[in-house]
Amino acid sequence: MYEFEFKRPGTIADAVAAIGAEEAQLLGGGQTLLPTMKQRLAAPAVLVSLGGISEMQGVCTDDAGRICVGGGTTHAAVSAATAESYPALSHLAGHIGDPAVRNRGTIGGSLANNDPAACYPAAVLASGANVVTNTREIAADDFFEGMFTTALNDGEIITEVKFPVPVAASYQKFLQPASRFALTGVFVAKFAGAVRVAVTGASEDGVFRWSEAEAALSADFSPDAVDGLSVSADGMIADMHGSAAYRANLVKVLTKRAVSAC
Amino acid sequence: MTQVTMTVNGKSVSGSVEGRTLLSDFIREGLRLTGTHVGCDTSQCGACVVHVNGQPVKSCTMLAAEAEGADVKTIEGMANADGSLSTIQQAFQDHHGLQCGFCTPGMVMSASALLAENPTPSEAEVRAYLEGNICRCTGYHNIVKAIMAASGQDVAAVAAE
Ligand SMILES: Cc1cc2nc3c(=O)[nH]c(=O)nc-3n(C[C@H](O)[C@H](O)[C@H](O)COP(=O)(O)OP(=O)(O)OC[C@H]3O[C@@H](n4cnc5c(N)ncnc54)[C@H](O)[C@@H]3O)c2cc1C
Ligand code: FES
Ligand code: FES
């Protein structure tokens, strides 16, 4: 890892000032960025830690009943705080990587990174959550722009994520045991008016909504409702762990499992 | 260079570190506490697990500067005050929960965090909690057995599959 200047501001305002420096980068839990820097795939001159900003920590509920998670909240803290209020989200956060990763990794870092196999993007997209930054609020549908790409501008900080709570929801992660990420994962969220289905780990464009399944499940919320549908293998990720066709099939299988578990 | 101060195994320590100094390096090179092992340095193996403010973390994937003011516990802080092995350490010995011993510091730190959180875990819970601790020798059965035994449970049923 190349040397850098380390900064640990105590407020969002001070972090915004610090990130303005030449070649500065934000540090969340470091569970992705530090391994990347060790490989010299990232070499910031200044690293601005968000770990000392208490206003970005913790989970609360707003007047609209949405669960508001501070951008610097660890996976372990989210899992503990949402066990009653949003069990599917709690379960997802509680099954990211392993306990040590969950004690450092943060929701903001996971969303900013937008790994195509990451878990949180599926929850955010299926819940129709809003990603709040130091400058604006971005709807989930506008946030994810493809593998490792988001609507965030340089130096923009995810300060909070606001989750509407579905009537029922389930995240089904088909584990890739070596990386402990999702080989493919499906998050189904059933709201009073509609159903949203978000898929991670499958597409080369990153997390996406399976709209045919959403329509079918909105009409009939049962596992059988997606029987007649098929997912095209075009544009699906293919690697040593699974072919494109295998992942396309997993999308359907996991959607059915998620609906059954709701 | 930045000056960091933290509590390690109950003692206040300080030292000057570069921004890039990992907590594992500060512990091993700075404090000469070499019980914390670095197996992979890529966040996969868990040999480097220590407790920071009571929670297990991979010390190879945390900057020393991030531990400013923290309460850190390493494997050197696990034995009883009189120097005898803690219940968990003794159980690893009794149940042959190690062979080469390289993964053991991380295993013991993870196990003690698990038992603090969940004093009588099921076998499945033990295995799930050790997801991030890799052992290339034992096949895990005796590690799981040791942790179950340390929690005061009957381990006769934890047979090799
Ligand atoms: C062994 C292992 C297993 C894992 N398994 C899984 C898994 O199963 N599922 C899963 O989803 N993830 C998994 N991860 C990734 C983990 O969840 C990371 O914590 C996460 O992807 C990055 O979060 P972080 O807080 O560590 O961010 P960092 O690594 O600190 O940063 C990642 C990127 O986000 C930026 N950033 C950080 N915080 C913010 C913010 N608040 N606003 C804007 N930008 C920010 C950084 O500049 C950097 O570019 C795993 C990681 C490891 C090491
Ligand atoms: S040395 Fe830290 S996880 Fe392997
Ligand atoms: S005892 Fe050798 S790696 Fe676990």
- Local confidence band at B4 (pLDDT 50, 70, 90 cut-offs): very high
- Ligand 1 atom with the smallest distance to the CA of A98 is 3
3-state secondary structure string, chain B?
CEEEEEEECCEEEEEEECCCCEHHHHHHHHCCCCCCCCCCCCCCCCCCEEEECCEEEEHHHCEHHHHCCCEEECHHHCCCCCCCCCHHHHHHHHCCCCCCCCCHHHHHHHHHHHHHHCCCCCHHHHHHHHHHCCCCCCCCHHHHHHHHHHCCCCCCCCCCC
Indicate the pLDDT class of residue A179, thresholds 50, 70 and 90.
confident
| Mean pLDDT, residues A34-58 taken together | 97
pTM as predicted: 0.96
Residue B160's pLDDT band, with cuts at 50, 70 and 90, is low
The reported pLDDT for the residue numbered A11 is 98
Q: Could you tell me if the CB of A113 is within 6 A of ligand 1?
A: yes
**Confidence band of A38 (pLDDT split at 50, 70, 90):** very high
pLDDT given for residue B55 in this prediction: 98
Across the range A169-195, mean pLDDT stands at: 95
Q: What is the ipTM of this complex?
A: 0.96
Query: Among B25, B27, B28, B38, which is best to mutate for testing ligand 2, by the most ligand atoms less than 8 A from CB?
Result: B38
Per-residue pLDDT band for B156 (boundaries 50, 70, 90) equals confident
Looking at residue B159, what is its pLDDT? 62
Q: For the segment A95-131, what is each residue's pLDDT rounded down to a tens digit?
A: 999 999 999 999 999 999 999 999 999 999 999 999 9
What does the mean pLDDT of chain A come to? 97
DSSP letters spanning A164-207: PPPSEEEEEEEE-TTT-SEEEEEEEEE-SS-EEEEEESSBTT-S
**pLDDT tens-digit series, residues B8-55:** 999 999 999 999 999 999 999 999 999 999 999 999 999 999 999 999
The answer on pLDDT for B161 being more than 60 is no
Res A5 pLDDT > 90: yes
Residue B130 in contact with ligand 3 by CB distance below 6 A = no
Q: Does the pLDDT at position A213 exceed 70?
A: yes
Interface check B5 vs A, CB under 8 A: no
Residue ranges and CATH numbers for the domains of chain B are 2-76 (3.10.20.30), 87-150 (1.10.150.120)
Closest Cα in chain B, distance from residue A12 (Å):
17
Ligand 2 pocket, residue B134 CB under 6 Å: no
Domains and CATH numbers, chain A: 5-49 (3.30.43.10), 57-163 (3.30.465.10), 168-261 (3.30.390.50)
Residues 77-136 of B with CB under 8 A from A: 110, 113-114, 129, 131-133
Mean pLDDT of A32-52: 97
CA distances from A38 to A19, A42, A96, A168, B62 (A): 21, 8, 22, 41, 12
B108-129: pLDDT as tens digits:
999 999 999 999 999 999 999 9
Residue B74 near residue B110 (C-beta atoms within 8 A):
no
Q: Band the pLDDT of B158: cuts 50, 70, 90.
A: confident
Residue A211: pLDDT above 90? yes
Question: Residue A180 — very low, low, confident or very high, per pLDDT cuts 50/70/90?
Answer: confident
Give the pLDDT mean for A11-35: 98
